[in-house]
A and B are shown apart, each in its own frame.
Chain A
Amino acid sequence: MTTATHYLPASRRWAWLANPTLRRFMRHKLAVLGVVMITVLILACVFGPYLLHYNDLSIDIRNRFAPPFTGNHYLGTDALGRDTAARLLNAGRISLMVGFCAMLISIVIGTLIGVIAGYYRGWIGAGLMRFVDAFLSFPSVFLVLVLAAFTKPSPMVITLIIAVTSWMEISRIVEAEIRSLRERDFTLAARMIGASSRWIMFRELMPNAIGPIIVAATLTIANAILLEAYISFLGYGIQPPLPSWGNMLNAAQQYLGKAPWLAIIPGLAITLAVTSFNFIGDGLRDALDGRSDLK
C-alpha cells in the first residue's frame, strides 16, 4: 500500500498529492467520473430545491403531464401537476439519505461483528459467523418486504430495515481481514506491552482493515439505494406524498405511454447514483491495494 518514501516535513502541505493511493485512484477514470457525478447529485439535491420555482408537494391540476421544458417546469409535471424537478431532487435527498444512513448502520453492525468474530475465533467467532450465515440465507429482498409489511413505513424505519438486511457481507469481509491481521507480529507486540483485547481489536486491528471497510461501505450505499428504490416501487417503502425515486417510478408506471419522462427521469437518477457508487467502490478497491501497481 505504501512505498518507501523518505521523511516528509510537515510543512509540505501538498504532499498528499503524491500519495500513491490517491494516484492510483485518479488513474481509475470511471471512479473519478463517479465521484464527480455523486458530488453533482448531492449538491443538486441539497441546494437545487431552493433554486426551483416550485415546491415538490404543491399540486396544480390544470398543469398535469406537462412535458419537460414547459415554462419553469424544467422536467415537466406529473399526474397531479407537481413539478418533476422539485420532486426528483427532494426524492434524491430522501433516497441518498436513506442509502447513506443505512450504510453507516450496517458498517457499524458488520464491522463490530466481523472484528469480534475474527479476533476471538473459537466458539465465539464460529457462533457469530453462523449467525451471519443465518441472516444471509434469507433472500434480502423478501426479508425486507416481510419486515416492511409489518411496520409503518417512514424513512427512518426503511433505513433500519435496509441496514438490518445488508450488514452481513461487511462482517464477512471484516472477519476475514481481522483473522489474517491478528496473526501478524504487531498483534503479539501489542499484547506484549499490556494492551487489552478491546484495545487490540479496535485500535490495532480495525484501522488496518479500513481499506476493505471503505470499499464495502461504498458498495453498500449503492445496494441500499437500489433496495430502497425497490421497496418503494413495490409500495412498501417511502409513502407518497413524500417523494422517493422508487415511489416516483411506481407512480409513473400507469402513465408509461402518455408521459414516459416520469419514469425515465427517476430511473436515470437511480442508475446514475448506483453506477457511480459502484465505480467509486471499484476505484477504491484498486487504489487501496498496492499490488495493483504491479499490473
Chain B
Amino acid sequence: MNADEKIAVAHLNVAFRKGADYVPVVHDITFTIGAGETLALVGESGSGKSVTSLAIMKLLAEAPKTRIDGSAIVADRHGAPIDLVAMGEQQMRHVRGNRVAMIFQEPLTSLNPVHRVGDQIAEAIRFHQSLSKADARARARALALLEQVGIPEPVKRLDCYPHELSGGMRQRVMIAIALAMEPDVLIADEPTTALDVTVQAQILDLLRNLQKKNGMAILFITHNFGVVAEIADRVMVMYAGRIVEQGSVSQVLSSPRMPYTRGLLAAVPRFEHAGLAQGELGTIAGFVPDPSTPPSGCAFHPRCGYSIAGRCDQQAPVLEEIEMGHQLRCVRWRELATEQEGAR
C-alpha cells in the first residue's frame, strides 16, 4: 500500500455456501482509493456492489457460511497496515466506525427509534474511546459533529428522537455518526437513493466538503450516473460480481467501451436522448445471472447486443488496460471501438 492510499483491496473473492458447495458471488476485485479520492462503484441490483462493501467490513455471515479471500488493507491509528480480511470479529469491532465507517441507503431506518440522536452519536465515540456515559466530552463532540454536518440548531437536535427529523437530517446524523472517529475510509452505500433530488444534492455537497477537510477516501456505491458525475473521481462498473470497466469519470462516462456500461448509460433519463425516439429509455433486456449457474464465456453475453456466438460465449474476457487508467473486460472491445469511431 502506497503512502497516500487509504485503502487497498486486492483480489477480493467472496463465496456463499449453498448446500455442500460455495457459490462465488464476487470475483477478484482489486482497487485502491487514495486520500481525498472518491471511487464510485456502479452496477445494477445483484451485481455484487453491496456484498463487496459488506465483505470489506466483515459484516457478512461468518466463516463456514461465507468464504472471503484476498486482502483489504487499511492503516490503523498508528499508520501500520492491517488486513481486514484476516481479522477476527473482536479486532474488527475496533476497526468499524473507527478506521472504516459506513453509511446506508435508508436513513429512515438506520437510526434506532428509541434513542436520542445525540446519544447515538456519542455512543459511536464511546465505543472507541471508553468514555463514561456521563462524560461531557462525548456530548460536546456529538454537538460539534452535528454542526459540521450542517444541522441547524444542533443543541436542540441533540435531544431529538429520529422520528422528529426529516429524511435529509437523518442522513446527516448518520454521516455525523460515521465521521465521529474521523475514519480514513467511508463506504457510502447508496446514501442518497431514498432522498429527494434537492436533498440529495445537499448531501453530496456535504460529503464533498467534509472530504476536502479531512482527506478521507470514499467508496461510493450507487446506480445513479448523475450522482457519479457529481461526486466521483473514478468509476468502477461491476457486473455479476466482476469489475467490467473502470477508469476516471471522464473516461467511463464520456467514452464507455464495455457494452454493459453503455447500456447502463443509455438507461439514464435525459432531456435530449440521442438516437432514441422521444420519451423512450434504453433498457438492458434480461436479468443479472444467478451466481450458482453463471453463463459460459463473458458473464454479460446473453444480454449483450454485440455478442458473437463462438467468441463471447466461450472466451472469458480478462481485464485489459486500454489507455492509462482505463480498464475493461470485453473480448470485442477493439472491433467495437472502431465501429463506434465509424458511427461518429
Contact between A193 and B111, CB atoms less than 8 A apart: no
Near A by CB (< 8 A), chain B positions 49-80 give 57, 59
Residue B106 interfacial (CB < 8 Å) = yes
**Contact of A207 (CB < 8 Å), options: B94, B115, B123, B180:** B115
Contact between B96 and A185, CB atoms less than 8 A apart: no
Residue B168 interfacial (CB < 8 Å) = no
Contact between B96 and A186, CB atoms less than 8 A apart: no
What interface size band does chain B fall in? 20 to 34
Near A by CB (< 8 A), chain B positions 64-123 give 93-98, 101-102, 104, 106, 109-115, 123
Residue A204 interfacial (CB < 8 Å) = yes
Instruction: State the CA gap A190–B114 with chains docked (Å).
Output: 13
Contacts of A152 in B (CB 8 A): none
Known: A185-B104, A185-B106, A208-B113. A195 touches B123 (CB 8 A): yes
Contact between A189 and B160, CB atoms less than 8 A apart: no
Contact between A192 and B97, CB atoms less than 8 A apart: yes
Contact between A193 and B101, CB atoms less than 8 A apart: yes
Contact between A193 and B97, CB atoms less than 8 A apart: yes
Near A by CB (< 8 A), chain B positions 155-192 give 156-157, 159-161, 163-164, 174, 177-178, 180
Residue A257 interfacial (CB < 8 Å) = no
Contacts of B161 in A (CB 8 A): 2
Contact between A7 and B160, CB atoms less than 8 A apart: yes
Instruction: State the CA gap A7–B166 with chains docked (Å).
Output: 11
Contacts of B163 in A (CB 8 A): 2, 4-5
Residue A196 interfacial (CB < 8 Å) = yes
Contact between B59 and A194, CB atoms less than 8 A apart: no
Residue A184 interfacial (CB < 8 Å) = yes
Residue B306 interfacial (CB < 8 Å) = no
Interface string of A1-40 (1 = CB under 8 A from B): 0101111011000000000000000000000000000000
Residue A53 interfacial (CB < 8 Å) = no
Contact between B101 and A192, CB atoms less than 8 A apart: yes
**Contact of B93 (CB < 8 Å), options: A186, A194, A204, A208:** A194
Contact between B59 and A186, CB atoms less than 8 A apart: no
Known: A7-B156, A7-B160, A189-B104. A194 touches B110 (CB 8 A): no
Contact between A186 and B164, CB atoms less than 8 A apart: no
Known: A193-B124, A193-B177. A6 touches B101 (CB 8 A): no
Contact between A194 and B128, CB atoms less than 8 A apart: yes
Instruction: State the CA gap A189–B54 with chains docked (Å).
Output: 12
CB distance from A194 to the nearest CB of B (A): 4
**Contact of A194 (CB < 8 Å), options: B94, B109, B157, B160:** B94
Known: A191-B59, A208-B114. A7 touches B104 (CB 8 A): no
Interface string of A164-199 (1 = CB under 8 A from B): 000000000000000000001110111111111001
Known: A194-B127, A207-B115, A208-B113. A189 touches B174 (CB 8 A): yes
Interface string of A106-117 (1 = CB under 8 A from B): 000000000000
**Contact of A184 (CB < 8 Å), options: B57, B101, B109, B180:** B109
Extra contacts besides A186-B111, A188-B59, A189-B174 (4): CB < 8 Å: A185-B104, A192-B57, A194-B93, A207-B115
3 shortest interchain CB distances as A-B pairs: A193-B97, A193-B124, A185-B109
- Residues in A lying within 8 Å of B, measured CB to CB: 2, 4-7, 9-10, 184-186, 188-196, 199, 204, 207-208, 210
- Residues in B lying within 8 Å of A, measured CB to CB: 57, 59, 93-98, 101-102, 104, 106, 109-115, 123-124, 127-128, 156-157, 159-161, 163-164, 174, 177-178, 180
24 residue pairs bridging A and B, Cβ less than 8 Å apart:
A2-B113, A7-B157, A7-B164, A10-B159, A185-B106, A185-B109, A189-B104, A189-B112, A191-B59, A192-B97, A192-B178, A193-B96, A193-B124, A194-B93, A194-B95, A194-B96, A194-B124, A195-B93, A204-B112, A207-B112, A207-B114, A207-B115, A208-B112, A208-B113
